[in-house]
Amino acid sequence: MAPLSPTPIAPRARRGPQHARPRARWRTGGVEGNGRLTSGLAAIVFGLLFAEGVTLLSVQRLLAAHVLIGVILIPPIAVKIASTTWRMLRYYTGHGSYRRKGPPRPILRLLGPVVVILTVALMVSGVGLVVGAPVSWRPTLFALHRATFVAWFAVMVIHVLGHLGETARVAPRDWLARTRRRVDGATSRQWVLGASLAAGLVLGLMVLPFASGWRLV
């Protein structure tokens, strides 16, 4: 009687790049994670901008609050610009999920760079007025800050209205139990939001003493 030959054991299937890739890539949530981060930052920025607008009702009396909130805004705005720029780069370089997500509406795409340029000009001129600008420069810098604000406010109204629905819908998803786990990286995104606010508060407290006793031109 011939001996039984051992049953061959099939080699374990190797995980190819197509299987390993999601784990490395989607830890940040991919395009959906980017959308959640951007909307979370937008919610923070919109709230702070509303508070900043309130200080304009009596800006001389509320100058300290105006300066503090304005500086707190800088890190969240910087991170939001980075997140939207990342989405733009991924879209225009042909990345699949970002291409499927699609671009913003045409008017928002056109206004995006304008919003960024005016926002940077507004922040730089505002901080420059309080910190470091020679007294002789203040009238020119104040005029620039005021003119920039008028143009910025006009485009920002369109920008906010265009993104308000998406922000209200997407921003809470990392904080709600039923939607939090659907996209990887919720905790990381929460840390980014918290860190941007903390950095803004530290910067604001550093700049605030320079606003003491300062008078508008």
Q: Is 200 left (phi over 0), alpha (psi -120 to 50) or beta?
A: alpha
Rounded to whole angstroms, how far apart are CA atoms 22 and 25?
Answer: 5
Do 195 and 61 meet the contact criterion of CB atoms below 8 Å apart?
A: no
Q: Is the pLDDT of residue 140 over 80?
A: yes
Lowest-confidence pick of 66-80, 123-137, 147-161: 123-137
Query: Which residues neighbour 216 within 8 Å (Cβ) at sequence distance 6 or greater?
Result: 59, 60, 63, 142
> Scanning the structure block, which residue is given the tokens 């903390």?
198
The pLDDT tens digits for 3-52 are 555 555 555 544 444 444 444 444 678 999 999 999 999 999 999 999 99
Percent of the chain with pLDDT over 70: 85
Residue 216 binned pLDDT confidence (cut-offs 50, 70, 90): low
Where along the chain do its domains lie?
29-211
